[in-house]
Every structure is written in C-alpha cells, then in structure tokens.
Structure 1
C-alpha cells in the first residue's frame, strides 16, 4: 500500500506527478484547495494517479491509474504524433486531458508551457506560444477552445505552426474541423477517457497497442493504458472492466462500429430516449444539428413530455443573426429527414452561453436542469 496525496490544480502538479510516476505517493489533483470527501488515506501499490471524472452525464467516479498505464499511453501518443516535442498546457490538470499533457511532457523530458489566466483566451495562448523553446509543438484542446483560436488571426497563425493539435472532450463538429484544416492546422481528433489513460484513438485509429472491439453495439477498449478500476467501487469495476477471450477490456458505454482499422463512435448507450415508442439517439440528433450553419455547438437533451413521454430539446449559443425562425425550421427538417420525425427537436433554444464544466465540456446535467426549470 502507499499514501494518497491530494494536490490542488496549479504549479505543483507537474512535480507531484513526476514523483508519482517514479513510485512515490499516489496523486489526486483537486479542482481547488478543498480536499474531496471520502478519500482513503492509502491505495494499492500499483496506483499512481486517481482522477475524478467530470460527471457531465452522471455521478462522478474516481478512476485509479497505474504509472505503467499512463506511460504506455504517453509513449503511444508520442509515436502516433511522429516523435517527442514541447506541449502547451491549455486544459485543467484535475482532468485526464490536462494530466495527459504533463505525462507526455515528462515522458519526452520537455517542459510544458502553461496558458495563464483564469479563463482561456486567444491572447494568453499566443503569449504561451511565445515562451516555447522547441520547434516541434503540440497542444490538446476542446472544441470550444479551438473555435476561440480560429476566431483570432494571431492565434490561428500560431496554431498553424504546431506539429499536431489534438481535439477531444466531446464530438467535434465537422465544420469546425474543416475550418481548422483550411487554416493549415494539423488537427487530430482524439478519443478516450480517464479509464483509458486519456486519448487512445486518433482520427479513428487505435494508437500503440490499443485494441478495439464492438460488443452488442458498444465500444470496448483494451490495451496497456486501461485503469485499474474505480476507487472504492469493486462492483462497478467488475461491471465496466470485464475479461473476455483472455483480454481485459473497458466498456465505454459508447456506441459505434469498427471495421478492423477505423473506429466510428456514433453516440452513448445511455443517451437514447423513447418518444412515442420510437428510440432516438441524442448524439445522432446533435451530429445532424451541428452540421447546420451556426449550430456547431448544439447540445441535445431529453425532456419529459405529456404526450410523447420524452422529446429531444436542443440548446445553442448561436448568434441571433444565424438562428432566425427559418433556420430553426430548416434544422428541424434536416433532423427529421436524416433520423425520422421522432428525432426532430421539440424546440431549439438559444442561450447567451452554454454552462460548462471546468474541463471545457458542456455540463449536460445543468442544461437539462435549466430547461426543466423553465429556461426555454
């Protein structure tokens, strides 16, 4: 057994992670100074890092990762990206994506450059790039951050010099990817989770020795980057990390297909509503809406309905100029044409801003709560 040390997100995380990966105390990075409740004093010897999941669609979990898993992921990422380099840290270090940047930096023996400021801005990103000392440059972003940088000429120009720009955290709208590529940015879509030590599939291709299989429509991931399980929850660990055909797997709860080379993720097993007896995948509705002009940030949640049982409702922060009555009708018609009439959003609501988690992901629970509270 070894001690579990809690470190607040900030400047001390890199050295604490270095020590944890070298066999020292296990590490949990907290969002603030307050220590999370219910943590054990000690954990199994193999555990180097405990990551609290964001809870964007359910209750938070504590994912226990070994040093071997984290370093295997870092090595696979380095190989997939063409070699080592210097990273910009633009994501919170109490989430796996930010910790990935630090782990990759430690594996590459390079110093990460931090985007300063309480909130991510194009100006602070450009300032961080100015502090970089190695020509081979990498950064990991969520889609909202990429959109922010593309809206700024100086930031977009700086980003175009990067060897790779990983984008993950949520489904990245096709128009945003097209816009980035048109600006000369080498964008790579990253898929993974805390349970897989972060991104383990780039542009649909498993990296390193990551394995993918589809079981009853669900994406399963195998390989050396898998977590040990969930801290203090052996039942959930057994459920989500089964062993089949002699291989240990992680059941992602995502739906998708895999042709032996390319993984296509189509949605979440738990994002299906039943409207008038017809199953509707919320992720599929989102994908259609996000292809519409001005709706690249659309989020769809299930809302109770007296007649149909449940209906999809979409929320966006699109500018008023792009979301007139005609655009709403056309967007709904596009969904109905692609997915059937039951999938057509009951309404498309515009807010000034979407509620976000600290990771940059949309807080879907907050979206649904606001809608249920009458905001839209």
Structure 2
C-alpha cells in the first residue's frame, strides 16, 4: 500500500470505522482541476479522513457516519477488485450494475463500485424481469450489487443475464443459486484491507443512466468523470451547501436526480436523509422531525402535498434551500411553497440526463419569472461551464422571444449513448466547431437572457418526472396488440405536466385489459398506459403519421 494512504481493517460481520491518516502530500481535492486523480467516492473518503464521526447517510433507524460509510464502501470495493472478472475491457473501466432501491445499502453499493474504480450502472427495480435482463445484457457488467429489494428480483431470467459475480449488500439472508454465477453476501466476506478510492481519468465513464428509447430498447447515457466532477464542484458552490446541512433524498438511483442528491450532499460533507418511497405523502413531517435544511425533489411531489393540504404556513420552517428539477415548475406550487417554507431560497433547475443532471438554473425572487402565456417558472440561465441556445430546424440561432429547439453545450455533456454511434452523432452535432446536445425541448430566450421551456418538439414527454419516449411504448403496444397502427399519448395534462399515458390501437375492437397486462411484463409502471382505446380509423397528419394532437383533443372532449 502506498505510504500516506489509509487502510480499513474490516471485520467479517460489520463495516467498521476506518483508521485514517491524513491525506498524502499533493493529493488533489475534488473541487480542484485534475485530469488523472478523481473518483466519485473521493468526497466520502476526504470527509472520512477529516471528520469520520459526522453523519453521512440516514434512512429510518439506520445511519452511517462518514467513517462507517467509507469502510463499507471500501470493503465492497475490495471484493469487487479482487474478483476474477475485474479488468478493463477494450480500454474502458469495469462496469458494476446496481440493483437496489434508495436506502443505505444502495449508497454503499454505488460508492463501493465507484471506490473500486468502476462505472456504476443503476437498474430500476420497478421494471419487468425481461427489461431488467435486457439492460444487464446491454451494459456488459463485470459485477452486480443488490440490496434486499434487488435480491428479490434475482429470478431465472435476471440471473441468466447477470455477470459472473453478484454481491448482496443487503441485510437479509440471501439464498440464490445459479450455474455460472458466484453469489456472495457482503457481510460474510473475510476481513480485507483497502486504501483510498481508485483514481480514474476525466475521460473515463463515471456512470451510465438508462433512459427511454424510441425503438423499444432503453438507451444508456454515458457520463464522464470529468463532467461529473465539474457538476458537483460547481453546483455545491452555486447552492451554497454546507457541512451542517441535512439534505432530502427522494429519488431512486436509476433517476439521474439522485446523482445530484447524493454526491452534492457528500461533496459538502453534509448528511443525506432518505425519504422512504412508502411515506412520500408524509414528507412534511419527515422534514420537521429530521430538521432538514435542503429539499430536493421534482415539482410533482410538492404539487401532491399541496393537493392534500399538507403545506400549511410555516410547516417547513427549517428549510434554507429548496431545489426543484426534473419537470416544469408551476407558479402556483411556488406560491404555496413560499408560505410553507418562509426561510428557504428556491431554485428551479433544468437539465437532461445528457448534460449531467442540471445545466440551467433560475433563482426565484419577486416578481416570479413566469413563462409568457403559461403558469410555469422560467428555467433561467446556464450554470457555470454550460451554454444554451435556441435554434431553428437548420441549427441557426433565433432572436429573443422566438421559439425554437433548445441546445446545450459545455463541460457537462455526455460522451453519448452506449453502443449507439449513429444516435450519438445525431443528438450531439457539431455546429460551427462546437459540440451541442439537441434537447428536443421547445424553448425561447427572453430579452433578459432567461430561457423558458415550452414543452417537447418530438415524442418524448415527462410523466411524473420520468422521461418517456412515446415511441418506445408504441413499439411494445404494436407487438402485444398485433396491430400496425398504434399511438401513445401523454394524458391528462395538469400544470403543463403529463399525469399518465393513453394507448390507441387501430382496430374495431381490442381486449384492453389483456393488452395492458401484456405491456406490464415489458414496461415499468410509469410507462404503462392507464387505458387502451380501439379506433377503427386513426387520425393521420399531412405526413401520414398518426396525429397525436387530434387524439389528445379526442380525450379532452370525452373527459375523464
């Protein structure tokens, strides 16, 4: 072990607190430029050295300090790096799948993969087994790490697509056997010794997040360590996060908002408090009981709390920072939030997964920066290191107040899509020598330089914060319905956001229940149509394609 690194004496039955030395001379902190020494786990290591007893993650009755979290992550890293499957393949880092729901064990799993010098690949649990298996095959993993919830999904289909090593980081006993797959429990591993996180280069892929695809197959967005490093250092400074903060986690690891929630909190040395999915409607009580100071969520959660009249004046008095992102923010939600959290600054963040979480920001003052003709808040101006432009169909810049497609450039752009070079080239074009990402969002810039998002140009929508390609739903709908002409429509809409999906099949009659049941084996719940409607004559546009606008008008006229 290199002199100056700290080692973690790890017992077989628990993750013990590390014995640490001070960082070696010349070590590069996370918020300073470096092209050779970086790891997403670096901040946890740094705080484990400086303040090992400070709280790092809290979930229900479980809590780990920075020292304990570092010990658990390093222990997992040692088991991964010591496996026979651990090697670079075609020059890239090993990839580790994370099959876990939000919680302490998911944090350990993610940090352990990072600590070992791997690319972590979160896999959402609320998906059919066949879809999970497809993602495992597509991502070519060296190992898979599960928590208790993830382990329940290790059925025959999933294990057949799993890598040769599966590590169970959960608390419950695991009884899974599969030919050709080594399944080990993290708690049963013998004592190991591990040093600081493995350094990786800025060009290496830090994580891969899967988003909905147009062909029925999700696409993996590859985010480099350099892009992630810039984002975390930048956003922590922009928001003014402090070591004494207690920040809310409301997202699953497969939603890229979780990257912000976890790693910006740990970058500041603050504590991450995880709101269980089963108690989201008790979020106000959760904030009060934990005296939380930072709120992170999609606006939909705040909207639901408002609907159930949970946002009483002063009910969120401990909050000092509120971060909304992932979908459009209604002005009415902001008004109610200000009364409930009178001491909190409110920041509306915008960004696609392809631009490393968030790339534009709007701090809310008075009067509210409302988008013209709509009851939603502006998405603001580019964050440091980012650029934005509104262009026409030929990629030419448009004047202020003229709608066009929003393009993003800068240090946070993804490397592209896993195994999809043509799609990467199409979505990340070079314009006048600058690499941009075509968001597919319709937007305009006002005379003050603020950007406003007006919705989607293409067939991609946000449903309760999740990004969904309608064409992916249609690909599966076409198969299960046995019909050539189908359509998926985001409906109903409320405050500019989709609340669900309705499917249409070009036929005189269909068994809607059977179709939905078949789709349930192929699609996650948030992509599942709530209704399937047969139309003998589907409305077509001038291009010969199904006219979704006409279908929405049909739904609006018919009512709920």
Give TM class, smaller chain.
0.5 to 0.7
Indicate the residue corresponding to 1:187 in structure 2: 346
The structural deviation recorded for 1:302 is: 9.7
Distance in 1, matches of 2:406 and 2:502, equals 22
**Which structure has the bigger radius of gyration?**
2
Distance in 1, matches of 2:524 and 2:384, equals 30
Indicate the residue corresponding to 1:4 in structure 2: 95
**Preserved CA contact (<8 Å) 2:505 2:533:** no
Question: Is residue 2:204 matched to residue 1:113?
Answer: no
Indicate the residue corresponding to 1:96 in structure 2: 256
Distance in 2, matches of 1:261 and 1:191, equals 15
User: Could you tell me which of 384, 409, 418 is aligned with 1:208?
Assistant: 384
**Preserved CA contact (<8 Å) 2:97 2:136:** no
Residues 221-370 of structure 1 mapped to structure 2, 5 A cutoff: 221-259=408-446, 261-271=449-459, 290=495, 363=527, 366=529, 369-370=531-532
Distance in 1, matches of 2:136 and 2:97, equals 11
Distance in 2, matches of 1:163 and 1:26, equals 33
The structural deviation recorded for 1:372 is: 5.4
The unaligned stretches of length 5 or more in structure 2 are: 1-91, 143-200, 363-379, 393-403, 461-488, 507-522, 536-554
TM-score normalised to structure 2 length: 0.47
Indicate the residue corresponding to 1:347 in structure 2: none
**Preserved CA contact (<8 Å) 2:223 2:413:** yes
**Residue by residue, what CA displacement relative to the aligned partner does 1:84-112 show, whole Å, maximum 9, x if unpaired?**
34321011121101222112122212221
Distance in 1, matches of 2:215 and 2:138, equals 22
Greater shift in the superposed pair: 199-208 or 10-19: 10-19
Residues 20, 225 of structure 1: CA spacing in aligned structure 2 closer, same or farther, 3 A cutoff?
Answer: farther
Question: Is residue 2:119 matched to residue 1:26?
Answer: yes
Residues 158-197 of structure 1 mapped to structure 2, 5 A cutoff: 158-183=315-340, 184=342, 186-197=345-356
Distance in 2, matches of 1:16 and 1:257, equals 41
The unaligned stretches of length 5 or more in structure 1 are: 273-281, 306-355
**Residue by residue, what CA displacement relative to the aligned partner does 1:262-294 show, whole Å, maximum 9, x if unpaired?**
11111111159xxxxxxxxx99x95xx638xxx
Distance in 1, matches of 2:328 and 2:319, equals 22
Two-structure CA RMSD over aligned residues (Å): 3.8
**Residue by residue, what CA displacement relative to the aligned partner does 1:147-181 show, whole Å, maximum 9, x if unpaired?**
23344557874534322222222222222222222
**Preserved CA contact (<8 Å) 2:241 2:265:** no
**Preserved CA contact (<8 Å) 2:284 2:310:** no
User: Could you tell me which of 107, 128, 153 is aligned with 1:14?
Assistant: 107
Distance in 1, matches of 2:216 and 2:358, equals 20
Counterpart secondary structure, 1:202: strand
**Preserved CA contact (<8 Å) 1:115 1:128:** no
Distance in 1, matches of 2:212 and 2:336, equals 28
Distance in 2, matches of 1:37 and 1:371, equals 33
More strand by share: 1
Count of paired positions = 302
Question: Is residue 2:140 matched to residue 1:41?
Answer: yes
Distance in 1, matches of 2:297 and 2:312, equals 13
Greater shift in the superposed pair: 84-93 or 94-103: 84-93
Distance in 2, matches of 1:59 and 1:178, equals 40
Distance in 2, matches of 1:67 and 1:266, equals 31
Indicate the residue corresponding to 2:38 in structure 1: none
Indicate the residue corresponding to 2:290 in structure 1: 131
**Preserved CA contact (<8 Å) 2:323 2:347:** yes
Distance in 2, matches of 1:81 and 1:106, equals 14
**Preserved CA contact (<8 Å) 2:313 2:339:** no
Counterpart secondary structure, 1:39: helix
**Preserved CA contact (<8 Å) 2:287 2:316:** no
Question: Is residue 2:231 matched to residue 1:73?
Answer: yes
The structural deviation recorded for 1:59 is: 5.4
**Preserved CA contact (<8 Å) 2:311 2:337:** no
Indicate the residue corresponding to 1:198 in structure 2: 357
